[in-house]
Homo-oligomer: A and B are copies of this chain.
Amino acid sequence: MSEAPLRILLVDDHPVVRAGLRAVLESAGRLRVAAEASTAAEALAAVDRLAAQGEGPDVVVMDIELGQGPSGIEATERLGRTHPRLPVLIVSTYGAVSDVQAAVSAGALGYLLKDASAQELRDAVAQAAAGSLILPAHLARRVLGGGDGAEPTLSPREIDILEQLALGRTNQQIAAGLFISQATVKTHLNHIFGKLGVSNRTEAVTVARSRHLIRG
């Protein structure tokens, strides 16, 4: 391996998190944070600026959430158009399957949770720099649906029901709100219970929320 440290562009809207990422990444010496950005626009500008100096970053470490503006996913997509070979590592608080899929299809070379250890983070950056796709085992299993990982697939209609459920609506209210009968609501509910492996509406909401099937 080369001795020159890898140049990293850090993108996160929280100064505190940037400081943390910088501390963790630089603590081993092989990595160097060449620049920081707090928005998607800043990130794009920083990459161009560094590249113009002949010091284009080797890896971009990007928070999936960038506050008000474009998300990390969007930023990744745009980066991919101008710098197709620049590896982007997405870091996120949540491991929702949909988020991981969105990240990967936006061109990210990896997806890490913020509760990853310092070592995992550094390794992931090194791997991304080498062009490998990085997905922690637990995420990979869920995303790829391997074996008994068996992520249940809820139909769009079932999601509708679930969202109403989370608001504490009764079957009657849900039926009225969606212009269907209570009988239909009950049927959907039973399907949902079966898919989520629960036995009542309250638990269904909790499970659905924990899997980010509904917002909240």
A residues contacting B by CB (< 8 A) are: 13-24, 65, 67, 91, 93, 114-118, 121, 165-170, 198-207, 209-210, 216
User: Can you spell out 27 A-B residue pairs with CB atoms less than 8 angstroms apart?
Assistant: A14-B115, A15-B118, A16-B17, A16-B114, A16-B118, A17-B17, A17-B20, A18-B20, A19-B19, A19-B20, A19-B21, A19-B24, A20-B20, A20-B21, A65-B93, A165-B202, A166-B202, A167-B206, A168-B199, A168-B201, A168-B204, A168-B206, A168-B207, A170-B200, A202-B202, A209-B216, A210-B216
| A26 → B minimal CB distance (Å) | 10
* Cα-based distance from A17 to B23 in the complex (angstroms): 10
Chain B residues with CB below 8 A from A200, complex form: 168, 170
| A25 → B minimal CB distance (Å) | 9
Query: Are B15 and A116 closer than 8 Å at their CB atoms?
Result: yes
* Cα-based distance from A23 to B168 in the complex (angstroms): 41
| A150 → B minimal CB distance (Å) | 20
Given A65-B93, A168-B200, 19 other A-B residues pairs in contact with their CB atoms under 8 A: A13-B115, A14-B115, A15-B116, A15-B118, A16-B20, A16-B21, A16-B91, A16-B118, A16-B121, A19-B20, A19-B118, A20-B20, A165-B202, A166-B206, A167-B203, A167-B206, A168-B201, A168-B202, A168-B203
A204 nearest CB neighbor, chain B only: B168
Query: Are B24 and A15 closer than 8 Å at their CB atoms?
Result: yes
A168 nearest CB neighbor, chain B only: B203
Chain B residues with CB below 8 A from A216, complex form: 206, 209-210
| A40 → B minimal CB distance (Å) | 15
Chain B residues with CB below 8 A from A114, complex form: 14, 16-17
